[in-house]
Amino acid sequence: MGKMPGHVEDRVMRVFVIAGACALVLGGAAGPSTSSLAAQSVLPDAPGRDATVKLCGNCHGAETVASVRLAPEGWRETIARMVAAGAQGTDQELETVFQYLSAQFPVEAQKALDLNSATAVELESVAGLLRKESAALIAYREKNGPCKKVEDLKKVTGLDYKKIDARKARLACM
């Protein structure tokens, strides 16, 4: 991201991850029927799920959306950014999506991500890693076994440990 302060870089990264998640979950390259089935299996069945799939489906994937946890103001900001980026819906639909995301994916529900079993999508969305960094971490743990403590990841070639360190309250080696 460059020379942005850490908290701004985190928010910008979160928006990109959420946008990518919505694309995969709701639309994706596989087509609407496969996407709808994926969304049904990953997104909780609750009021607002259909509106979320409809509005976000052209850009995001369900697994990514389900891995993100934000406070209500974070979801409001994310939805506003998505509208600015071209997402379309009525005010009522946008409010329904906000209510769904806020209720189903609140920040309080986020538990520490186990870096020994995390998928690439989870490493990108929760740990804030780039795709190549996620791949480097996964390759490292496959070759060297599970980490004992987060600091062990300083040894991973191709991983910007500062990203891990900045989010270590949400990360663990279990």
Q: What is the DSSP string of 3-24?
A: S--HHHHHHHHHHHHHHHHHHH
Question: Picking from 13-22, 40-49, 99-108, 124-133, which range would have the lowest pLDDT averaged per residue?
Answer: 13-22
For 142-165, how does the pLDDT look when each residue is reduced to its tens digit (9 = 90+)?
Answer: 999 998 888 888 989 998 889 888
Express the helix, strand and coil content of the chain in percent, nearest 5 each. 65, 5, 30
For residue 172, report the phi and psi dihedrals to the nearest 5 degrees. Answer: -155, 155
Task: State the average pLDDT for the chain.
Answer: 77
Its sign, for the CA torsion 153, 154, 159, 162, is positive
Kindly give, in sequence order, each residue whose CB lies less than 8 Å from that of residue 13, ignoring residues fewer than 6 positions away.
1, 128
**Span(s) in the chain for CATH 1.10.150.280:** 113-172
Q: Which residue has the higher pLDDT, 4 or 172?
A: 172
- Residue 95 and residue 48 in contact, taking contact as beta carbons nearer than 8 Å: no
For the domain made up of 113-172, give the CATH fold: DNA polymerase; domain 1 (1.10.150)
Positive or negative, the Cα torsion across 92, 96, 97, 102? positive
- At 29-71, the pLDDT tens digits run 334 444 454 555 678 889 999 888 888 877 777 777 777 788 8
